[in-house]
Amino acid sequence: MNYQDGKDIFIFIEQRENHIQEVSLELIGEAKKIAKTRAFEMKVVGIVIGYDTDQLVQEVVEHGVDKVIVIDQSHFAAYDTLNYTDALEQIINTYHPEILLVGGTVIGRDLAPRLSARVHTGLTADATHLAFDETDKHSSLLYVTRPAFGGNLMATILCSEHKPQMSTIRPGVFDKPERETANEASVIAFNEHFTNDASVEILERVEKHIDMVAIEDANVIVSAGRGVKHCLPLIKSLAHKMGGEVGASRALIDEGFVKKPHQVGQTGKNVKPATYIACGISGAIQHTAGMEKSETIIAINTDEHAPIFNVADLGIVADAKAVLSELNARLKQL
């Protein structure tokens, strides 16, 4: 699609059972940040689609948007690909967003490509960095950076001739803005008539009985790589003593030493704990992509040229097993 008048950043606010997904709020914060770098007024607009959405709209307003566009109809209560695509298509045709950001969740990555094909625009997948042209403050061309080739490469993608410039954004990359009850925004009800497509019928939700750990929320992560795969009890014990969680590189997940929910990195989770201790992890981009934002990174590795040392605050060239034993012993004494 192509139009001239778009200049605002729209964010699809993803809700499930009337709970807003964190990534949507993270996007509000980042959109506001980049909008401020422009020499013209660029509004941040939240799109809320659902049923009985008053609370959601309020939450979006309090996280700092300038405007909210709301579709509140019963058949939008739960996500449906075709119905949500129709809704967003009409919003795009009506309001001409310059940019449309969607959280890179299972739902976001189902919806955004379908919509981009529908409105004929470019879509960048699973981005981790957004920026405008620093030299031209009147430009609204978005530089979207994303990992590719299993995290081996960072690619910056542009969509200069089609609108909206669309991107899905990886969850956990940007900071969620503070919630301020004093924030105000205009709220627009977009209650057009939408047909209800019933091709897909949701039958039931099935809980997964997997080891549910939320390493994203941990204050301390002690993380294991190939170099320590035979001393995981030491890792677990240290993590426990420090009140933290166990993380792991992809190698240990692939080899079955540690379960998937513990995986840090490109194909695992993004974490930013206060302290991240990387033990026997070489530090491929695949891994560092998911932990480099940690406050303090301590790396222990026998190979002094291991790339993990490039992202560490403190690098210790030593046998991780010996250091872990020593740490475990000393922490017992504390």
Partner 1 sequence: MNTIVLVKQVPDTTEMNIDKETGTLIRKGVPTIINPDDLAGVEAALTLKETYGGSVTAISMGPSQTEGMLEELYARGVDECFLVSDRAYAGSDTWATSNILSTAIKSLEYDLVIAGRQAIDGDTAQVGPQIAEFLGIPQVSYVEAIDKIDDDKIFLTKAYETYSQKLSCHLPCLITTLSEMNEPRYMHAKHIFNIDKKSVKHISNEDLKLDETEVGLKGSPTKVHKTAVKSVQKKTIKLKLSPEEAAQKIIDTIQGKEGARQ
Considering only residues 3 through 62, tell me which ones interact with partner 1, judged by CB under 8 A.
none
Residue 247 or 315 with smaller CB distance to partner 1: 315
Within a 10 A sphere around the Cβ of 90, how many other Cβ atoms?
A: 15
Our CA angle for 185, 188, 192, nearest 5°, is 165
Q: 320-333 vs 232-241: helix axis angle to the nearest 10? A: 30
Residue 131 binds to partner 1 (criterion: CB under 8 A):
no
**Interface with partner 1 in residues 198-237 (CB under 8 A):** 199-208, 212
CA distance 109 to 92: 18
Out of 37, 148, 180, 255, the residue judged to bind partner 1 by CB under 8 A: 148
174: CB partners within 8 A, 6+ apart: 26, 27, 29, 30
CA separation (Å) from 53 to 8, 60, 188, 330?
23, 11, 13, 53
Residue 134 binds to partner 1 (criterion: CB under 8 A):
no
**How near is the Cβ of 67 to partner 1 at its closest, in Å?**
26
Helix H or strand E segment including 247: strand 245-248
Out of 5, 161, 193, 195, the residue judged to bind partner 1 by CB under 8 A: 161
Out of 35, 44, 125, 271, the residue judged to bind partner 1 by CB under 8 A: 125
Q: Which residue has the tokens 């939320």?
A: 214
253-266 burial by CB neighbour count: b if 16+ within 10 A, else e? beeebbeebbbbbb
Residue 18 or 160 with smaller CB distance to partner 1: 160
Residue 303 binds to partner 1 (criterion: CB under 8 A):
no
Residue 330 binds to partner 1 (criterion: CB under 8 A):
yes
Number of residues that bind partner 1 (CB under 8 A): 81
Out of 37, 55, 152, 196, the residue judged to bind partner 1 by CB under 8 A: 152
**Interface with partner 1 in residues 232-291 (CB under 8 A):** 242, 274-275, 277, 285, 288-289
Residue 105 or 223 with smaller CB distance to partner 1: 105
Residue 153 binds to partner 1 (criterion: CB under 8 A):
yes
